[in-house]
Structure 1
Amino acid sequence: MYPNWLAQRVQMTPSRLALTFEDKSWTFQQLLEEVLITAGTLKTAGIDHGNRIAILAPSHPQLIITIHACWQLGCEVVLLNERLSDEELAYQVADAQPAHVLVKDSYKERIGTYKTLTLEELSRLDSIPINMEEEWPLTRTMSIMYTSGTTGRPKGVRQTVLNHTTNATASAFNMGIQTDDVWLCTMPIFHISGLSILIRSVLYGMEVKLYSKFDVVQVVDDLVNGCVTRMSVVSVMLQRILRELDERNVNVSPLLLTMLVGGGPVPSHYLERALARGIPILQTYGMTETASQTATLAPEDAARKLGSSGKPLFLSFIRIDQTKAPFEEGEICIRGGHVTPGYIGQYEHTPSQDKGWLYTGDIGYLDDEGYLFVVDRRSDLIISGGENIYPAEVESAILQHPKIREAGVCGVNDEAWGQVPVAFIVSDGEISLESLQQFLQGKLASYKIPKKVYQVDAMPRNASNKLLRRELRVWVTSKSNE
Structure 2
Amino acid sequence: MTSVFDNGQWPPCPQDFNLTAHVLAAADRLPDKIALAVVKPTGAQRWSYDRLRSAILGTATGFLQSGLSPGDRLLMRVGNSVEFPVAYLAAIAVGIAPIPTSSQLTEPEVQVLIDMTAPAAILHDGQTACPDTLRVIRTAQMSEWYGLPPAAYAFGDPERLAYIIFTSGTSGKPRAVCHAHRAIWARGMMMDGWYGLTEHDRLMHAGAFNWTYTLGTGLLDPWTRGATALIPAQGVDHAQIPLLLKRHEATIFAAAPGVYRNILKSGPLDLPKLRHGLSAGEKLPASIREAWHNATGSQMYEAFGMSECSTFISSCPGTTGLSANSLGWPQQGRRIAIVDETGPTPIGSEGIIAVHQADPGLMLGYLDQPEETRSRYQGDWFLTGDLGQMTETGEILYLGRNDDMMNAGGYRVSPLEVETALLAHPDVHEVGVTDIEVKQDTRIIAAYYVADCDLDPDALGAFAAERLARYKQPRLYQRIAALPRNANNKLMRRALPEQRPG
2:365 — aligned with what?
342
Q: Distance in 2 between matches of 1:44 and 1:133?
A: 15
Q: Secondary structure of the residue that 1:113 maps to in structure 2?
A: coil
Counterpart position of 2:162: 142
Aligned match of 2:314: 296
Structure 1 position 57, deviation (Å): 0.6
* Counterpart Cα distance in 2 of 1:477 and 1:168: 50
TM-score (norm 2): 0.73
Write the distance in 1 (CA, Å) between the matches of 2:311 and 2:137.
33
Q: Which residue of 1 aligns with 2:429?
A: none
Q: 2:328 aligns with which of 288, 310, 316?
A: 310
For 1:21 and 1:226, the matched residues in 2 are separated by 11
| Local SS of the residue matching 1:219 | helix
Structure 2: where are the runs of 5+ without partners?
1-15, 407-433, 450-460, 482-496
- Identify if the C-alpha distance between structure 1 residues 361 and 59 changes in structure 2 by more than 3 Å, giving closer, same or farther: same
Q: Is the 8 A contact 2:196 2:317 kept in 1?
A: no
1:64-463 aligned within 5 A: 64-107=85-128, 110-123=130-143, 129=149, 131-133=151-153, 135-148=155-168, 152-197=172-217, 198-213=219-234, 215-225=237-247, 227-244=249-266, 248=267, 250-277=268-295, 278-290=297-309, 292-302=310-320, 304-305=322-323, 307-322=325-340, 324-335=345-356, 336-346=359-369, 350-351=373-374, 353-380=377-404, 395=437, 398-399=439-440, 406-408=442-444
Q: What residue number does 1:437 align with?
A: none
Once the two structures are TM-superposed, the CA of residue 409 in structure 1 deviates from its matched residue by 8.2
**Aligned letter for 1:281?**
M
Q: CA deviation at 1:332?
A: 0.9
Deviates more, 1:298-307 or 1:278-287: 298-307
The question of whether the paired residues in 1 share the 8 Å contact of 2:446 and 2:477 is answered with no
Whether the 8 Å contact between 1:7 and 1:134 is mirrored in structure 2 is: no
1:425 aligned residue: none
AA in 2 matched with 1:407: R
- The verdict on how the C-alpha distance between 1:333 and 1:464 changes in structure 2, with shifts beyond 3 A counting, is farther
1:205: how far off? 0.7
CA pair 130-207 structure 1, distance change in 2 beyond 3 A: closer
Residues 24/348 of structure 1: CA separation in 2 closer, same or farther (3 Å cut): farther
Change (3 A) 1:368 1:220: same
Alpha-carbon distance, 1:265 to partner: 1.8
Residue 312 of structure 1 deviates from its aligned partner by 0.4
Q: Following the alignment from structure 2 to structure 1, what is the Cα–Cα distance between the partners of residues 256 and 147?
A: 40
Judged with a 3 Å threshold, the aligned counterparts in structure 2 of structure 1 residues 10 and 137 are, in CA distance, closer, same or farther, namely: farther
Task: Report deviation, 1:7.
Answer: 4.7
**2:252–2:274 CA contact under 8 A, matched in 1:** yes
- Cα deviation for residue 232 of structure 1 reads 2.1
Aligned residues of 1:73 and 1:132 also touching (Cα < 8 A): yes
Distance in 2 between the 1:270 and 1:178 partners?
26
Distance change in 2, residues 1:173/1:349 (3 Å):
closer
Aligned-partner Cα distance in 1 for 2:384–2:74: 28
Closer, same or farther: CA 182–6 of 1 in aligned 2, 3 Å: same
Structure 1 partner of 2:62: 41
* TM-score of the superposed pair, with normalisation by structure 1: 0.76
Provide Cα deviations, 1:398-439, integer angstroms capped at 9, x if missing partner.
Answer: 417xxxxx33488989xxxxxxxxxxxxxxxxxxxxxxxxxx
| Aligned AA (1:284) | A
Q: Which moved more, 1:136-145 or 1:217-226?
A: 217-226
Residue 432 of structure 1: aligned partner: none
Is contact 1:333–1:357 with CA below 8 Å preserved after alignment?
Answer: yes
Tell me how far apart the structure 2 counterparts of residues 229 and 381 of structure 1 sit (CA, whole Å). Answer: 34
Q: Deviations over 1:360-385 (max 9, x none)?
A: 11111112321112221111399xxx
Counterpart of 1:17 in structure 2 is 34
The Cα of 1:81 is off from its aligned counterpart by 1.0
Contact 2:191 2:197 in 1 (8 A): no
Q: CA deviation at 1:63?
A: 1.6
Contact 1:234 1:262 in 2 (8 A): yes
Residue 52 of structure 1 contacts residue 100 of structure 1 at CA under 8 Å; is this kept in 2?
yes
Query: Post-superposition shift, 1:219?
Result: 1.2
How many angstroms does 1:224 deviate by? 4.6
Cα separation, 2, equivalents of 1:123 and 1:341? 33
Contact kept, 8 Å, 1:145 with 1:191, in 2: the verdict is no
Q: 1:68 to 1:475 in 2, by over 3 A?
A: farther
The 3-state SS of whatever aligns with 1:41 is helix
Deviation at 1:208, TM superposition (A): 0.9
Corresponding residue SS for 1:361 = strand
**Cα 1:169/1:328, change in 2 over 3 Å:** closer
Over 3 Å counting, the alpha-carbon distance change for 1:295 and 1:361 in structure 2 is same
Give the superposition deviation at 1:111: 2.3
Aligned residues: 412
Partners of 2:86 and 2:208 lie apart in 1 by 15
Cα RMSD of the aligned pairs, angstroms, is 3.4
Of 2, 25, 45, the residue aligned with 1:8 is 25
What amino acid maps onto 1:365 in structure 2?
A: Q
Identity over aligned residues, as a percent? 18
Higher helix share: 1
